Amino acid sequence: MRTKIVAGNWKMNKTASEAAALIDGIKKELAGFTQVEAVVCPPFTDLKEAAAACAGSNVALGAQNVHWEASGAFTGEISAAMLKDLGVKYVIVGHSERRQYFGETDETVNKRTKAALAAGLIPLVCVGETLEERDGGKMESVVVRQTKAGLDGLGADLSKVVVAYEPVWAIGTGRTASPAQAQEVHALIRRTLAEIGGKAVADTIRIQYGGSMKPDNAKELMSQPDIDGGLIGGAALKADSFAAIIKAGA
């Protein structure tokens, strides 16, 4: 039985002073609720305040990116050890916005994933096709390629990752994949994970859906056999909608 995991990707939203208030609101909404793992992923600048707000609660802390080197001359980058030191547990890797706007490749996704795992962080590794790729009949090849390349060479650590399927055409567009459409790709990802690490391991790995997940569609999406949670953008910026999505996973 896989415990569902719902993570809020705040993207470039909320200052450090706003972060604590949002997390406090989420904690209030989720008081006593432990059936679904809840994670918030604020910007780097919020992590210290966010860590204090999350401490001792049922809300875990994640970051939105991590560099693969341990330290050195990499202006503007953040290492896994820096995140770990602040109490971060999860880190988003390979989000489509990183791939689209910041030159993220399958190779750098793999390097970041390995660095996160080596430091004891759990990577939320994002995969997903663009609308052009889907319309061109390439959804399957893109998702399989991103999954295999992003998770290449992890060995026994494969079992620790979380995968997020985020069809690019559904992110921030209000256009959600239908539960059947999402389930089809989640099953494909699980078959690919089985090819990489065997069926027993693949059956334990959580695969989140991301892309306009909202309180009113979360339950149906998370009822699908291979959808084990969500990676939430817009709806994670308000305590009530984020908590409603998390509760929909129970």
Alpha carbon distances (Å) from 121 to 3, 56, 58, 103: 18, 18, 18, 23
Active-site annotation holder among 97, 129, 133, 166: 166
* Residue 195 a catalytic site member: no
Region of 143 please: left (phi>0), alpha (psi -120 to 50) or beta: alpha
157 or 220: CB nearest ligand PGA: 220
167 or 197: CB nearest ligand PGA: 167
Binding residues (CB under 6 A) for ligand PGA: these are 9, 166, 171-172, 210-213, 231-235
The minimum distance between CB 183 and ligand PGA, in angstroms, equals 18
The minimum distance between CB 198 and ligand PGA, in angstroms, equals 29
The minimum distance between CB 200 and ligand PGA, in angstroms, equals 29
Of all residues in the shown chain, the one whose CB is closest to ligand PGA is 233
By three-state DSSP, how is residue 2 classified? Answer: coil
Alpha carbon distances (Å) from 22 to 29, 53, 54, 172: 11, 9, 11, 20
The minimum distance between CB 72 and ligand PGA, in angstroms, equals 29
In what helix (H) or strand (E) does residue 38 lie, and over which residues does it extend? strand 37-41
Task: Measure the CA–CA gap between 26 and 129, rounded to whole angstroms.
Answer: 31
Q: What is the DSSP letter of 156?
A: G
Task: Measure the CA–CA gap between 28 and 12, rounded to whole angstroms.
Answer: 24
83 or 232: CB nearest ligand PGA: 232
9 or 147: CB nearest ligand PGA: 9
* Residue 95 a catalytic site member: yes
Active-site annotation holder among 95, 97, 104, 129: 95
Task: Give catalytic residue positions.
Answer: 95, 166
